[in-house]
Amino acid sequence: MNRLLKYLRDYRKESILAPLFKMLEASFELLVPLVVSRIIDVGIVNHDTPLVIRMVLILAAFAAVGLVCSLTAQYFAARAAVGFTAKVKSALFRHIQSLSYTELDTLGTSTLITRLTSDMNQVQNGINLVLRLFLRSPFIVFGAMIMAFTIDTQAALIFVVAIPVLSAVVFGIMLISMPLYKKVQAGLDRVLLRTRENLNGVRVIRAFNKEQDEIHAFDEEHGKLTGLQLYVGRISALMNPLTYVIINAAILILIWTGAWKVEGGVLTQGQVVALINYMSQILVELVKLANLIITVTKAVACGNRVQAVFDIQPGMTYPDALSGEAVESDSMISFENAGLAYHEAGAEALTGIDLKIRKGETIGIIGGTGSGKSSLVNLIPRFYDVTSGRVMLDGRDVREYPEQELRSRIGIVPQKAELFQGTVADNLRFRKEDATEEEMWEALRVAQAAEFVESREGGLQAAVSQNGRNLSGGQRQRLTIARALVGHPGILILDDSASALDYATDAKLRQSIRRMDPSVTVLIVSQRTASIRHADRIVVLDDGEIVGIGRHEELMENCSVYQEIYYSQFPKEVPSNG
C-alpha cells in the first residue's frame, strides 16, 4: 500500500491543505467549551446579558469559520483522493495491459475487475477520510486533554487514563479485523467470478435447465461471503459500544469529582461543564477515529491487493529495436523444435514442433479438440512464449522484435469474435487508426461483410453494441476478419474464425483473401476439413505433436488422424461392384 502513495505526489498541495484546514476547524472547536464556561460563570451568574450575547455571537462566528474550513478541507481531500484513484487506476490498467496471457490466465478476469473497481473505491474512501480526520481526531483528543489540564490538573488525570484505554480498544479491534477484511475481499472475488460466469454463460445455463443449480451454487458462495462479513462486522461493531461505555464511565467519574470540587470551591460550574464538553469531544472524535480506522483497515487491505497486481512483472519483455542478426532462410515462419507448456499445466501443450512456412503459402491446421492448434498459432504473435525451441519470423527469433513491429505484421482473428461498443468504423480502425473508408470497405468486401454493413443504417457509422450483441454470430465473425485485414498484414491467422459461416460464404472468403494479395501468408485453423482441403499444405496435430503434413490428397493416403477427421464429416465412399 505504501508504494501506491507515490501517486499522491501531484496532489501535495491538496494533501497538506486538507488536514491543515481541518486542524484549523478543530482549533475553533476546542475554544467552544471555554466560551461556554465564561457564559455560565460570568454571564449567567452576574446576569450580564450583553456578555452572553457577545459570547453567543462569538460561538456563531466560530461555527461559520469552522464550516468554511470544513468545506475547504473536504474540497481538497476529495480532489486529492479522486485524483489519486484516477492515476492508480490508469497505471493499473496500463500494467494489466503489459501482462502476458500467462499472467492474465493466472490472475483471472474477475480478480482484476475487483481490483480496478471495488478495491480502488475502498482505497479512495480511505485516502479521503485520512486527509480529513487522521490529524483532526488525534489533535482534538490530545488538545482536549491539554485544555483539561489548564482547567484542573487532578480532573485531567481522568483523561490521561481514559485515552490509553480507548486507544487499546480501538487498535486492538483494528489488528483483529484487518486480516479478516482481506478474506472478505477474496470472497468478493469468488462471488464476482461466479456472477460473471453465469452472466456470460446464461444461454448455456438455460439450454441445459441448470438455473436452480447455479442459483444454489451462487447462494452457497454468497452465503460464505455474508457469514464472513457478518463475523468481521460484529467485531468492528464492538468498537462503538465499548468506546461509549469507557467515555460515559469517565464522564460519570468527572461529574462525581467535579461536584465535590464545586462544593469545595475549587472549580466553578462552568469549568465542570467545560471538562464534560471536552470529554464529550473526545468521545465523538474517538468514535470518528474508530470508524476511520475501520475504513483505513479496509483501504490498506484493498491497497495491498492492488499492489500485489503491480508486483507481478510481465513474463515477456520486448526490445526497443530489432536485436540480433537475421538468419538467411527461405521460410517466412519457422518453428524449430518448439515446445509450449502452460503455467502449472504439467504436460506440454506442444512438443517438438518443426515446421517451415514459405511467404505467400496458405497453411491449414487441423486436429482434434485440445490438440494444440490455437497454441501453435499463438506462438507467432508472442501471445505465449515457447518453453523450448524457438519461433522464427523472416530469419529472426520473434523475441527479437519490438512489440509494435511484430504485431503490425500479423493480422489475427481469434476463436471468439470480440467486438467493442462503438461503430463499425471504430472496430475496423483497431488495427490501423488512420485507415481510410476505402481501405475499410475493401476489407469488408474481402471478409464478405460489405453487404450486411451497407444494409445497416449509417453504413460504417452503424452502431455496434458491447461485444457485438446486436449482430449475429456470422456477422461478428466477418467483422473481426475484416478488422484483421485492414492495413494489409503480411501474415493472416484465422483461428477457427469461420465456424459460424456457411460453406459457401467460407469458400468465397478464402478465395477473396487469396485474390487480395498472393504474397500474404495465411494460416487457417479449423475443425472443418472443407475449410482447409484446398490449402497449399495441411498440418495435422494430435496431442500437441505434428502427425502429418501435406496436401489433402496426400494426407488421405498416409495420415490416419486426418482420415478419421475427414470421414467424421463426410460419408465414406463405398466402391461399386459394377
Calculate what percentage of the chain has a pLDDT beyond 70: 97
Radius of gyration of the chain (CA): 35
The predicted structure's pLDDT at residue 324: 66
342 plus 300 within the same structural domain: no
pLDDT, tens digit, 9 for 90 and up, residues 490-549: 899 988 877 767 778 877 887 887 787 778 888 999 888 888 888 889 999 998 899 999
The predicted structure's pLDDT at residue 199: 85
Whole-number Å distance between alpha carbons of 477 and 284: 62
422 plus 274 within the same structural domain: no
pLDDT, tens digit, 9 for 90 and up, residues 95-148: 998 888 888 888 878 788 888 888 899 999 999 988 888 888 888 888 888 888
Which is more confidently placed, 570 or 446? 446
Domain with 296 in it:
2-311
Q: What value does the mean pLDDT take over residues 473-500? A: 85
234 plus 305 within the same structural domain: yes
pLDDT band at 1 (very low <50, low <70, confident <90, very high): low
Residues 387 and 339 sit within 8 Å (Cβ to Cβ): yes
Tell me the CATH number at 375.
3.40.50.300
Report pTM.
Answer: 0.73
In a domain, 563, yes or no: yes
Residues 522 and 380 sit within 8 Å (Cβ to Cβ): no
Whole-number Å distance between alpha carbons of 413 and 398: 19
Calculate what percentage of the chain has a pLDDT beyond 90: 17
In a domain, 296, yes or no: yes
Beta bridge partners of residue 350, listed in sequence order: 340
Q: How many CB atoms lie within 10 A of CB 367?
A: 25
pLDDT band at 262 (very low <50, low <70, confident <90, very high): confident
283 plus 346 within the same structural domain: no
> Could you tell me which of 53, 55, 26 has the C-alpha nearest to residue 38?
55
297 plus 339 within the same structural domain: no
pLDDT, tens digit, 9 for 90 and up, residues 348-390: 889 999 999 998 888 999 988 888 888 999 999 988 889 899 9
pLDDT at 578 over 50: no
Task: Give the DSSP H/E element, type plus range, for residue 504.
Answer: helix 503-516
Range among 226-230, 253-257, 301-305 rated most confident: 226-230
343 plus 306 within the same structural domain: no
Which grid coordinates are listed for 421?
A: 461498443
The count of structural domains within the chain is 2
CA-CA-CA-CA torsion sign (464, 468, 472, 477): positive
pLDDT at 339 over 50: yes
Residues 452 and 479 sit within 8 Å (Cβ to Cβ): no
